[in-house]
Structure 1
Amino acid sequence: MRSPRTVLPHDVLSGRVAVVTGSSRGLGFAMARELGLRGAAVVLGARSDDAVAAAVERLRAEGIAASGRRCDTGDLADVEALRDEAISRGTLDIWINNAGTSGVYGPTASTPVDDFTRVVRTNILGTFHGARVALPVFLAQGHGDLVNLYGQGDRGPVALQNAYASSKRWVRQFTETLRLETKGTGVRVHAMNPGLVETDLLGRVASQAGFEHRLGALQVVVGLWGQSAGQAARPIVDLVTSDAGEFRFLTKRRLVTHGLRNILGGRLRRTNRMPLQVTVVHPDPQP
């Protein structure tokens, strides 16, 4: 990442086309908006046709060149079609593998197999698919920026969240390997860990039966270290206009400064009143 003193031109991304997966809402939408406001044409992908269409209209209302299509990142054909949509706009310069999902909270020994598979399909296979379709284009043209999303667990184990945490550890290894494979080609591979992002889904979590009571602290955690999707998306422009690197929101310093700011600013008090909807999932029968 460049020096924070560097001021980028407002239209620094003019002429570039960026794809953002999982971008009909939340962080993905906020990143697409951030890129679009700085001049990029953005291509949105998400699982719902209606949600994509609504998101595209919101961006166009702000003067952003936006298009999109339904895309399940676990389906290679869908991801290829999203790539083709971008190329039809003239080029493909930026690909952000944002689509991701969390798993049911609880121990691995009783994790529903379908749930674990769902997390792997989106977080691992989806990230691979995005890289697989974008990198050949980037390598052929001699430039391009790929961004993968890290998350809790990318640096070590997280008990009771094994599916999600392990998938993010895999994304880290995958990303670091891609950097080695693309060194000297003009292609840049980046990583972003946005920390805890407040979205409309944050208050709805799933837990295995008997572990739901442990989620009560989530409201406090969000209040101390959460940030809005708009705030979390701000570093993306700097990331894709710099040399290959990594952005991590919750550094040791920010754990203190952001926590204090949220306490003094009243965010902790507000999120303590945030309704928390927990869906209890019963484990699969023993084999």
Structure 2
Amino acid sequence: MRLSGKTAVVTGGGSGFGAGIARKFATEGARVFVADISADNARKIAQEIGGVAVACDVADGASVADMAARIKKDDTLDILVNNAGVTHLPAALEDVSEDDFDRLFHVNMKAVYLTARNFVPQFKAQGSGVILNIASTAGVSPRPRLNWYNASKGWMITATKTMAVELASHGIRVNALNPVAGETPLLKSFMGEDTPEMRAKFLATIPLGRFSTPEDLGNAACFLCSDEASMITGVAMEVDGGRCI
């Protein structure tokens, strides 16, 4: 019960790593708002864990403001997990369409700005709060043909560090997790095609020989968002089976 009495929101919580984090938080005693662009996915996970479903498009300012108002009306937030993310299909950097780039920019980067605008003032007022950004090993050790996705996750790692420095004096901690590719809906997009050969190629780059799982991310997220990590801020922790060594 390391998160007993805490309230958290997990964006992109309706599937993949976000669902794993939401499940772990609930198991550890937190009240969890499961935010997802898919209302059905959010509802499914929320019902499973006894949480609250919130339909939200994190790339849209009005939608994020509505989510924040919904949560503030119901509870005081302690933990914000910026997990929602997208990628583009593997391609030469100059061949990625402008529409795909704009979507990636809005979901992977602008969303962190939007949630900060809506929740940081509350965290400052209460003198506490934890923000966890789900970045990627792609921001540390980039793979070819995923250029703009890699860049967006590098941005998130830098954003995490600068947020941590600026918000520390207000009692707010900010950290990131860097998972390697995992068993999530994005896996096929990273690989371009989900075949045994392509999986073997990806796994060959991971010393522990397996993908990250939602449970792996949930366990790491729980630690960084708990009081056990009260002296940890500004880190981007790899949960990658040795991929970045």
Question: Would you say same fold, with TM above 0.5?
Answer: yes
Q: Deviations over 1:1-35 (max 9, x none)?
A: xxxxxxxxxx2212211000001111101101111
Letter in 1 for 2:37: R
Alpha-carbon contact 1:196-1:225 (below 8 Å) kept: no
CA distance in 2 between partners of 1:12 and 1:89 (Å): 22
Distance 1:239 1:140 in 2: 22
Identity among equivalent positions (%) equals 28
- Residue 75 (structure 1) aligned to one of 60, 85, 92: 60
How far the C-alpha of 1:148 sits from its partner, in A, is: 0.8
1:133-144 matches, cutoff 5 A: 133-144=118-129
Distance (Å, rounded) in 2 between the aligned partners of 1:171 and 1:84: 25
Segments of 5+ residues of structure 2 without an aligned counterpart are none
Highest relative contact order (Cα 8 Å, sep 6+), 1 or 2?
2
Q: CA deviation at 1:216?
A: 4.5
Contact 2:7-2:30 at 8 Å conserved across structures = yes
Q: Deviations over 1:178-219 (max 9, x none)?
A: 112112211111111122221244235585xxxx79994334
Q: Which residue of 1 aligns with 2:108?
A: 123
- Separation in structure 2 between the aligned mates of residue 53 and residue 45 of structure 1, nearest angstrom: 9
1:173-212 to 2 correspondences below 5 Å? 173-203=158-188, 207=192
Q: What runs of 5+ residues in structure 1 fail to find an aligned partner?
A: 1-10, 61-65, 257-287
| TM-score of the two chains, using structure 2 as the length reference | 0.87
Q: Identify which range, 50-59 or 142-151, moves more after superposition.
A: 50-59
Larger radius of gyration: 1
Question: Helix, strand or coil: the match of 1:188?
Answer: strand
1:71 and 1:121 map into 2 onto residues whose CA distance is: 13
What are the within-5 Å matches in structure 2 for residues 1-80 of structure 1?
11-60=1-50, 66-80=51-65
Alignment of 1:224-263 (within 5 A): 224-241=209-226, 242=229, 243=231, 244=233, 245-250=235-240, 252=242
Shift in CA distance, 255/164, structure 1 to aligned 2, threshold 3 Å:
closer
Contact 1:194–1:232 (CA<8 Å) still a contact in 2? yes
**Structure with more of its chain in helix, by fraction:** 2
